[in-house]
Structure 1
Amino acid sequence: MLVNADFSRCAVVAADQYHWVASPQSGVERVMLDRLGGETGRATSIVRYASASCFPQHQHAGGEEILVLSGTFSEGNRHYPAGWYLRNPPGSSHQPSSDEGAIIFVKLGQMPPGEDRAVRIDTHDPLCWGRRAGRDVCLLFSDASERTALLRLDPDEQLFANAIDSAELLVLTGELCGELWSDGRQYVRGCWLRLPAGEYPDLVAGPHGATLYLKTGHLAGLAAGG
């Protein structure tokens, strides 16, 4: 299966464009943002757990990254409410579930084989935030091939001051304004964007600012069809 599989082009999925499709497990649905392959392929998704839903224990050969957007997501007897960031390295296994229901942002099969760090960060903890390059940043993960963080933009603040090699972002609060298609559209909460290398000076926070999940560096070498 191929969804937004040409990484040389911009891809945008707005919250009002979400198309929920059933997963192999009852009570779990997902919005496919990008995908290369089947259930064990490279995928980026918004996943929705109904209350009292679960997956059986399973392993992710290419690792799994999760940001809890709402509700409470659980792994066995460990529970992660909205705002938690989880990173499970390649070869790790877990049994995900949700008693109350949850919506999570998930990236599967996108870690190098040698990555071995498990990460758990409560992004609502003020101690996880700091000032970097003049803006508030919660650093989630960084290595030679990627940098992942949450950042807060002030009203009308420009997102990228310089050209980028690529980027992927999810709007968590507020809005971005921009002209990726010369239409002056607004990218509000829940909007996912994937940007190839280039300059994007028109991407700025809206009048109330914005909070974003932002990943850079991880798309190097990917083109049409991955």
Structure 2
Amino acid sequence: MLINADFSRRAIVAHEHYQWVASPQGGVERVMLDRIGQEQARATSIVRYAPESYFPAHHHPGGEEVLVLSGVFSEGQTHYPEGWYLRSPPGSSHQPASAEGAVIFVKLCQMPPHERSRVRINTRDPAAWRNENGREICPLFSAGYEQVCLQRLPARALLLAQPVNGAEVLVLEGEVAVRGQSYGRGSWLRLPPGETTDVAGAPQGATVYLKTGHLGYANP
């Protein structure tokens, strides 16, 4: 299965164009944003858990990255409400579930085999944020091959002032504008190297998830 599989091209999925697809596990469905492969795929998705739904315990040989967008996402007896960022390295395992229901942003099989970081950050904690050059940023992960953060983007401010080695954006609040088109909460954008300097906050600004650098190392 190939969905937005050409990483040299810009890919955008606006929230109003979500197409929910049932997963093999009852009560769990997903929007496939990009994907290369079948069930054990290199994939980026929005995943929705109905109340009392779960996946059986399983491993992630290529690692997993999760941002909880709403509800409460659980791993065993540990519960992560909206705003938590989870990064589990290659070879990790878990049994995901949600008692009350949840929506999460998920990236699978996109970490190098040598990564060993296990990250758990509550982005709703004010202490997780800092001011950098007049902009509020919540750092989530940084390595030579990628950087991940949340940003509060002021109105009409450029997200990136100079080109980077590819960027991926998920709008969490407000809107961003790209070439005159606005994209609201839930919209996902993947911008290849060289096409990353025309994303700006719309008049009300935006809060976004931002990953940079990784597309230059992507080898789908």
**Could you state the TM-score of these two structures normalised by the residue count of structure 2?**
0.97
Alpha-carbon distance between aligned partners in 2 of 1:146 and 1:222, rounded to the nearest angstrom? 11
Q: 2:189 aligns with which of 193, 200, 207?
A: 193
Q: Is the Cα contact below 8 Å between 2:41 and 2:109 reproduced in 1?
A: yes
Code of the residue aligned with 1:76 in structure 2: it is G
Query: 163-172 or 59-68: which moved more?
Result: 163-172
Q: Is the Cα contact below 8 Å between 1:177 and 1:185 reproduced in 2?
A: yes
Q: Considering only aligned residues, what root-mean-square deviation do their CA atoms show, in Å? A: 1.0
Cα distance, 1:164 vs structure 2: 2.1
Cα distance, 1:41 vs structure 2: 1.4
Query: 54-63 or 158-167: which moved more?
Result: 158-167
For 1:96, the equivalent position in structure 2 comes to: 96
Tell me, what secondary structure is at the counterpart of 1:222?
coil
Q: Indicate yes or no: 2:39 matched with 1:43.
A: no
* CA distance 1:200–1:111, shift in 2 (3 Å): closer
Alpha-carbon distance between aligned partners in 1 of 2:191 and 2:104, rounded to the nearest angstrom? 21
Alpha-carbon distance between aligned partners in 1 of 2:112 and 2:126, rounded to the nearest angstrom? 30
Tell me, what secondary structure is at the counterpart of 2:198?
coil
> How far does the alpha carbon of each residue in 1:11-65 deviate from its partner, in whole angstroms, 9 at most, with x for none?
0001111000011100000000000111111000000000000011000000000
Code of the residue aligned with 1:162 in structure 2: it is Q
| Runs of 4+ displaced beyond 6 Å | none
Cα distance, 1:201 vs structure 2: 4.0
Alpha-carbon distance between aligned partners in 1 of 2:39 and 2:140, rounded to the nearest angstrom? 26
Tell me, what secondary structure is at the counterpart of 1:219?
helix
Q: Could you tell me which runs of 5 or more consecutive residues in structure 1 were left unpaired when the two chains were aligned.
A: none
Aligned length: 220
Kindly report which structure 2 residues correspond to 1:156-171, keeping only aligned pairs within 5 A, or say none.
Answer: 156-171=156-171
Q: Could you tell me which runs of 5 or more consecutive residues in structure 2 were left unpaired when the two chains were aligned.
A: none
Kindly report which structure 2 residues correspond to 1:1-226, keeping only aligned pairs within 5 A, or say none.
Answer: 1-179=1-179, 184-222=180-218, 226=220
Alpha-carbon distance between aligned partners in 1 of 2:199 and 2:35, rounded to the nearest angstrom? 25
> How far does the alpha carbon of each residue in 1:134-158 deviate from its partner, in whole angstroms, 9 at most, with x for none?
3110000001100000000111111
Q: Is the Cα contact below 8 Å between 1:162 and 1:199 reproduced in 2?
A: no
Tell me, what secondary structure is at the counterpart of 1:120?
strand
Tell me, what secondary structure is at the counterpart of 2:127?
helix
Code of the residue aligned with 1:110 in structure 2: it is Q
Cα distance, 1:200 vs structure 2: 4.3
Code of the residue aligned with 1:209 in structure 2: it is G
